[in-house]
Structure 1
């Protein structure tokens, strides 16, 4: 019987498993995919997350492969509305960096393999969860009839969490419904290391630097454009901003924002983390980072729960309370981000641009920088 089984081997699940292994716990990861996803998806890594990566011993590797985001600029109608500078510091762990998710996952998996050789099992689906009071039993497929046991189970299996559904934990829907299209292009160099937000009449366009001389472009769309290409995105960017993007071989990805929060994060000896616990808009780069902060708090809580059984109920209740509070704060911030990026014209456009100008000067700019780097979560 394991100390902990983590269901889900994405960036949140594998980070948590690594942090548990560093603490000397016997941990196993079950992942439904047989092969890692090569989609870029999340790219931003904030300073609080670098602390978690440092505990695992991979922060330097991540930083070396990433590109630093020095700040953000907001533009509208060809004019700069404001600029947000992230604090210049010699501390490498106080920076905002960008790295494609599949590269981050590869580093995390390699580190976990060092800590727990053979502790990662791919191609495994959990089909049943049974809390026995002093342990949890999992039914898994394709090994029909096999049952795995652990003192605790962590559901890190994403927004469509099977474990959460098997437990009957419902989610409270928050704001959402906005649709976006994104793809990666060669970086033409005019924006340097800054993120750029274009608050245009037709909707927001966002741009972020990536390693290897590339740049991520994201645009709000009037509907979910599932068949769109990177060329379609380039046309949309040109129409709204006048910027000509070079041809790209990267596939475009459309997505619709949904924001949900599980009504509880702890059910007996099963705990939810990451998107299984809370689905937050990726606009603003909070989703993966919020899940990592879950892991940063849950790892010592699970260690104490296992080593001091009498304290288990209180430490896990504290995890539930604090992480739900952080998720609500992140959802409010994400809602603000999306509202600012909606199509606007006339008086609404002028009011929004005026608000952006006000937020871009001290002392508001310092508060905004702290929010966007997730220092209060």
Structure 2
């Protein structure tokens, strides 16, 4: 019997697997995809997550390959409204690391394979779960046919459309938002260097983040109909109209549009099965909290799993873990709502007043440090 089956071989599932494998736990990671995902939506790794990733020995390699964002600047009408430094948020990692998710997943997969070359099973779809109170039987479909794996525990890290959550019929708290965005990666022709830039404009926010290799990501709030028909040229046009920054559409290497919604599971623990990451909570991508929230789920859960496998009674600790992580997800939702609110279109008078208020708050050390901590999930 396997100690722990992890359903989902994305960044959260791979990280949890590595944490457990380091302690001699037998793990199987069941990933539906035959090959790694090369499309990178998530790029920001916050300081608490870097501290967590350091526990499995991958943080330093990622830092060496990524861009360290130590400062963000807010601009309105061509004028700097406020600046925010991240130097106080962490002693070890006073920055947000910008690196494509595909590279992060590759580093995590290498670490898992170093620890146990046979632990990751690709092309494996979970078709059924049977928890009898002493173990969990996991039905798996692969190209070789159907099989059954018995595990002491199952961790569901299988994303926002989690088949495990659906099979367990765990209810979701749902909320949809009117916001939609277009984002794309282009050659960086700006002078921002490693800084992030937020353009707070009357027509809606434009965000800009550096990526490795002289690339810059641009994210613009837009109308939902516009998002559906976005092209590299249309996004470059929005950036120029709102910010005056020229983006070369011909250098586009990634383009995506998305709406925003929240989905929060009412519980994470179901007998010997636990939901983590996007399986438990889908958060707005604005603010880059989703992947990081999942890693922190895994970091908090791993010690409890080790205790359970040692037959320790940690029922109260598990209940505390669930309450804390559900609260953390709710806090992430509130932060994402603030982020989206700041980016919505405004009449000029309100836009001016909003930007003045942001500039004033940024000039107060206690407030600016608190805001920096919240933006980097260090609060």
Give TM class, smaller chain. over 0.9
Indicate the residue corresponding to 1:187 in structure 2: 188
Q: Tell me the SS of whatever aligns to 1:328.
A: helix
Whether contact under 8 Å (1:230, 1:250) holds in the other structure is no
Indicate the residue corresponding to 2:55 in structure 1: 55
Whether contact under 8 Å (1:7, 1:156) holds in the other structure is yes
Whether contact under 8 Å (2:52, 2:296) holds in the other structure is yes
Whether contact under 8 Å (1:229, 1:251) holds in the other structure is no
- Is 1:286 paired with 2:296? no
> 5 Å matches for 1:130-209?
130-142=130-142, 143-174=144-175, 176-209=177-210
Whether contact under 8 Å (1:71, 1:84) holds in the other structure is yes
Q: Tell me the SS of whatever aligns to 1:284.
A: coil
Structure-1 separation of matches of 2:350 and 2:222? 19
Structure-1 separation of matches of 2:362 and 2:176? 26
Moved more, 160-169 or 351-360: 351-360
> How far does residue 192 in structure 1 lie from its aligned partner after superposition?
1.4
Q: Deviations over 1:190-244 (max 9, x none)?
A: 1111111111111110000111111110011111523422221101111111111
> How far does residue 284 in structure 1 lie from its aligned partner after superposition?
1.0
Structure-1 separation of matches of 2:313 and 2:86? 44
Q: Tell me the SS of whatever aligns to 2:205.
A: strand
Structure-1 separation of matches of 2:150 and 2:303? 21
Indicate the residue corresponding to 1:323 in structure 2: 325
Indicate the residue corresponding to 1:277 in structure 2: 280
Structure-2 separation of matches of 1:314 and 1:152? 18
> How far does residue 251 in structure 1 lie from its aligned partner after superposition?
3.2
Q: Deviations over 1:290-341 (max 9, x none)?
A: 1111111011111111113432x22321221110011111110110000010
When the two structures are superposed, what TM-score results if normalisation uses the length of structure 1? 0.96
Structure-2 separation of matches of 1:88 and 1:327? 24
Indicate the residue corresponding to 2:46 in structure 1: 46
> How far does residue 19 in structure 1 lie from its aligned partner after superposition?
0.6
Structure-1 separation of matches of 2:290 and 2:359? 27
Structure-1 separation of matches of 2:199 and 2:255? 19
2:245 to 229, 243, 246: 243
Structure-1 separation of matches of 2:245 and 2:4? 50
Structure-1 separation of matches of 2:256 and 2:331? 27
- CA pair 89-126 structure 1, distance change in 2 beyond 3 A: closer
> How far does residue 354 in structure 1 lie from its aligned partner after superposition?
2.3
Q: Deviations over 1:229-277 (max 9, x none)?
A: 2221101111111111023231310111111210000000110111111
**Number of corresponding residues:** 375
Structure-2 separation of matches of 1:91 and 1:329? 23
Moved more, 359-368 or 5-14: 359-368
Q: Deviations over 1:86-125 (max 9, x none)?
A: 1179955343211000000000000000011110001111
Gaps of 5+ in 2: none
When the two structures are superposed, what TM-score results if normalisation uses the length of structure 2? 0.95
Q: Tell me the SS of whatever aligns to 1:332.
A: helix
Whether contact under 8 Å (2:47, 2:94) holds in the other structure is yes
Indicate the residue corresponding to 1:366 in structure 2: 369
Structure-1 separation of matches of 2:13 and 2:229? 31
> How far does residue 350 in structure 1 lie from its aligned partner after superposition?
2.4
> 5 Å matches for 1:84-163?
84-87=84-87, 92-142=92-142, 143-163=144-164
Whether contact under 8 Å (1:4, 1:27) holds in the other structure is yes
Whether contact under 8 Å (1:358, 1:364) holds in the other structure is no
Q: Deviations over 1:170-191 (max 9, x none)?
A: 1102453411111101111411
Q: Tell me the SS of whatever aligns to 1:146.
A: strand
Whether contact under 8 Å (1:231, 1:248) holds in the other structure is no
Indicate the residue corresponding to 2:354 in structure 1: 352
> How far does residue 33 in structure 1 lie from its aligned partner after superposition?
0.5
Q: Tell me the SS of whatever aligns to 1:253.
A: strand
TM-align CA RMSD: 1.5
Whether contact under 8 Å (1:46, 1:373) holds in the other structure is yes
Q: Tell me the SS of whatever aligns to 2:200.
A: strand
Structure-1 separation of matches of 2:270 and 2:31? 21
Whether contact under 8 Å (1:174, 1:261) holds in the other structure is no
Structure-2 separation of matches of 1:328 and 1:72? 25
> How far does residue 374 in structure 1 lie from its aligned partner after superposition?
0.7
